[in-house]
Amino acid sequence: MSINKEIKRITTETIRSMKGKEKISMLTSYDFTIAQMVDAGGIDAILVGDSASNVMAGHETTLPITLDQMIYHAQSVVRGAKRALVVVDLPFGTYQSDPQRALDSAVRIMKESGAHAVKLEGGKEIEKSVKRIINAGIPVMGHLGLTPQSIYQFGTYKVRAKEEAEAQKLIDDAKLLEDLGAFSVVMEKIPAALAKKVTESISIPTIGIGAGAHCDGQVLVVHDMLGMTHEFSPKFLRRYLSLYDEITGAVQQYVQDVKSVDFPNENEQY
């Protein structure tokens, strides 16, 4: 745990250098206040995930969130994160069509938010986009396995790459991302044995979510690990707080205090 102590800002190079030495911790954040707390807790990297579409906006999938909305979330997070590396998801539809569009989207995120890297979902299909972005000097994090932007193709949020062909494609895609110059890759909801194999076969860090303990790091959606979302309970999720219950309870108490004229009391007025 000594690497980070002397370092002011975690960079993509720091993340790369942690492989095999120290596990990488990553959480999502979407706003200034949470980002400040996550950063103060000593997190290595913050992901401004397009899961904002679910947990912030209440959409069923990540597909509806726009580039402008992602930039707004990213700007707020960057203001709150003094030490962590900030990575921002390129939202659905902003990088798949052609490499120039992908670069334009990534440039907007970097210029307008002040974030440090972008994340894209996919491998071979988006090879040219990844290459174009990296050639422009923008660090890229990959994302393989259960890629939520493809949910309508998958039809289910079940574990991916259990079959040989999909597992082999994932291995090939991880290698491709490494060759293209990605600085790390997220692997979501795949068998732990496959995640181990990939982790051992590439030189860049793997960050798992529902991908077992052998990944070089772990990422969770902050609202899930804090127990703010209460209906989402996948096997891989560890909840560190039960904020849904805590907050609902506090609101109930406030309502009761207002109705009974207990609040405000003499000391709480001018």
Residues with catalytic function: 188
Least distance to ligand KIV, CB of residue 113, Å:
16
Burial status of residue 64 (CB atoms within 10 A of its CB: 0-12, 13-18, 19 or more): middle
Compute CA distances 69 → 36, 46, 229, whole Å: 20, 17, 21
CB-nearer residue toward ligand KIV: 233 or 251: 233
Positions 124 through 153 that interact with ligand KIV (CB under 6 A): 143
What are the backbone angles phi and psi of residue 26, rounded to the nearest 5°? -140, 140
246 known ligand binder: no
179 known ligand binder: no
Least distance to ligand KIV, CB of residue 16, Å:
18
81 binds ligand KIV (CB under 6 A): no
**Candidates 7-15, 45-53, 79-87, 92-100; binding stretch for ligand KIV (CB under 6 A):** 45-53
Closest residue to ligand KIV in the complex (CB): 49
Positions 86 through 105 that interact with ligand KIV (CB under 6 A): 89
221 binds ligand KIV (CB under 6 A): yes
What are the backbone angles phi and psi of residue 106, rounded to the nearest 5°? -65, -40
DSSP of 184-233: EEEEES--HHHHHHHHHH-SSPEEEESS-TTSSEEEE-HHHHTT---S--
Closest alpha carbon to 243 in 224, 226, 222 = 226
Positions 177 through 206 that interact with ligand KIV (CB under 6 A): 186, 188
Q: For residues 137 and 123, give the distance between their C-alpha atoms in angstroms, rounded to a whole number.
A: 19
* Residues near ligand KIV, by CB under 6 A: 28, 47, 49-51, 89, 143, 186, 188, 209, 219, 221
